[in-house]
Structure 1
Amino acid sequence: MEILVLKDKDLREAVTIKDVIEADKEALKEYSAGNSDIPLRTVIDVDKENSSTAIFMPGYIKDKNALGLKIIDIYPQNIEKGLPSSPSTMILIDDENGFVKAILDGTMLTRLRTGAVAGAATEVLSNEDADKFLLIGTGGQAQTQLEAVLAVRDIKKAYVYDMNFERAKEFAKKMNEELSEYDSEIIAVEDTNEVIEEVDIITTVTTSKNPVFDGTRVKKGVHVNGVGSYTPDMQETPSEFIERADKIFTDTKEGVLEESGDVLIPIEAKKLSEDKVSHELGNLLLGKETGRVSKDEITWFKTVGFAGLDIIVAEKIYRLAKEKGIGQIINM
């Protein structure tokens, strides 16, 4: 049995962010069409005292011959050992014979598919002439979030904000070098209020339990991607903004209503109805929903992620890597 092993650099070499955006669109459509078998993720408390957790995310999309399992392990104490605190691995299985065919770096896979899903939402929901972007949060997910928006819109100025201004400045400098092909000026800001009223697109990618921008100050026509807030007690998107949103789309209605404080907190406070969160981006891509109909509409996309994104993106990376001779083959 041959297994293709793909490290983080192999993933970036095998695909472009636009490749991943298209794969994410397919995953969203397959899910909303009911063609995906995606069980709820399994969470095992390995060491409650140290908050060590193992998370297993399996799934199968028959029409895409995509079968696999992503494993994410949360080990906060790893930082003290000089190791990543959330190592992740993706396993792809051949759906014809049940053998493992590939092992991929799960951390880079997650960054790619998460950035790309916000890119897909930006492509179909933001105004086509949008040219100013604000990225809030400069952690591990930030680069692909930035790149995905630059890939689908002609962004002239991309502002980046982080609670640590020095970190934001370092990130902006690095991104101006690494993403120079997009011809966008990437600028660190010390306060989101400096630019909040002028930007056309906002992406929030933080672990904050409190809103990270002033929802009353965003202009008409803005599109916002809510990427953080993947637990019920996290709320990076202000309820005031969600109340103003004309249209809300999710990656999966079930996941968002189960996991995200961005919607659960305003629903609990009677500031948001569950019905307003019933629209999936996959249905919009399938032509079953109506997206933006005017330049003044305010749109919001909320994602918490699901295994279908990982599996279809991983399958695409696997096929392209094989075609290009990327990665290492091991025999079992």
Structure 2
Amino acid sequence: MATKYLARRDASRLAVIGTGAMAREQVAAMLAVRPITEMFLYNRTKEKAEQFAAYIQEEHPEWQGTIHVMDNADEAVRQAHIVICSTRSTTPVFSGTALQPGKHINAIGSYLPHMQELDVETIIRADRIVVDTKEGVKHEAGELIQAENTGRWSFEQIDAEVGELVTGEKSGRQHEKEITLFKCVGVASFDLAVAMGVYKKAVENGKGMTISL
């Protein structure tokens, strides 16, 4: 949802920083909402990035784009229109100086106060910051907590929660040159809403089976 409302409509180049299990669903989501033609993969262990490239080709045989396994995270970011960070890092995974106008970042890996995928420069350079919930990120988003602690940024500068973009209460991307950032720490109610949606679809289509507990 964040990418749908915040990334440029013509965004076609995707950087994936961290190629573990979390990145699989993220890539599938990007392919669903943007015309991705190139992917730039970076992982601290290069072999895992190469394995992830093979996974993408096997899992998405209909996708005919190009995959690049990168040696440097900053270079992957420079090449991309959309950046996914899906690591459990406690130190920034790329430099904010690598950002150029027009990029969108999904930071979904870190979810505890001591974790930090993004540096303070990235937070400050973002023109628009959207979160899953303001209350959640105040307690769990290490990047935002540490940025506020420097005195150079404040939680008051958060532009919206992602739900407000969906309902139209708040606006998404305003122009092509904006740097947009979505920070997510995870919300159980969101998971429940998706599960209920899947359940209703299954009932409507006569799929699945009833199990007595």
Task: Please tell me the TM-score bracket, short chain as reference.
Answer: over 0.9
Question: Which of 216, 224, 240 is 2:105 aligned to?
Answer: 224
Alignment-derived partner of residue 121 in structure 2: 240
CA distance in 2, matches of 1:143, 1:186: 14
Cα-Cα RMSD: 1.4
1:123 to 2:4 alignment = yes
DSSP-derived class of the 2:130 partner: strand
1:126-275 to 2 correspondence within 5 Å? 126-275=7-156
2:15·2:79 contact (CA, 8 Å) conserved in 1? no
Structure 1: state its 5+ residue gaps.
Answer: 1-119
DSSP-derived class of the 1:149 partner: helix
Superposed CA deviations along residues 165-190 of structure 1, whole A, max 9, x for unmatched, are: 00100110111121122332233212
Compute the displacement of 1:305 (Å): 1.4
Residues 192 and 166 from structure 1, CA distance in 2 versus in 1: closer, same or farther, beyond 3 angstroms? Answer: same
Alignment-derived partner of residue 193 in structure 2: 312
CA distance in 2, matches of 1:183, 1:144: 18
CA distance in 2, matches of 1:284, 1:330: 37
DSSP-derived class of the 1:183 partner: coil
Q: How many residues align?
A: 213
Tell which deviates more after alignment, 185-194 or 167-176. 185-194
Compute the displacement of 1:201 (Å): 0.5
Q: How high is the sequence identity, in percent, across the aligned residues?
A: 39
CA distance in 2, matches of 1:207, 1:258: 17
CA distance in 1, matches of 2:15, 2:54: 16
CA distance in 2, matches of 1:218, 1:198: 10
Superposed CA deviations along residues 190-228 of structure 1, whole A, max 9, x for unmatched, are: 212333222110010110000001111111010001101
1:159·1:187 contact (CA, 8 Å) conserved in 2? yes
CA distance in 1, matches of 2:65, 2:28: 10
1:176·1:185 contact (CA, 8 Å) conserved in 2? no
CA distance in 1, matches of 2:65, 2:53: 11
CA distance in 1, matches of 2:57, 2:152: 39
- Structure number with larger C-alpha Rg: 1
Structure 2: state its 5+ residue gaps.
Answer: none
TM-score, normalised relative to structure 2: 0.94
CA distance in 1, matches of 2:115, 2:78: 24
Compute the displacement of 1:328 (Å): 3.7
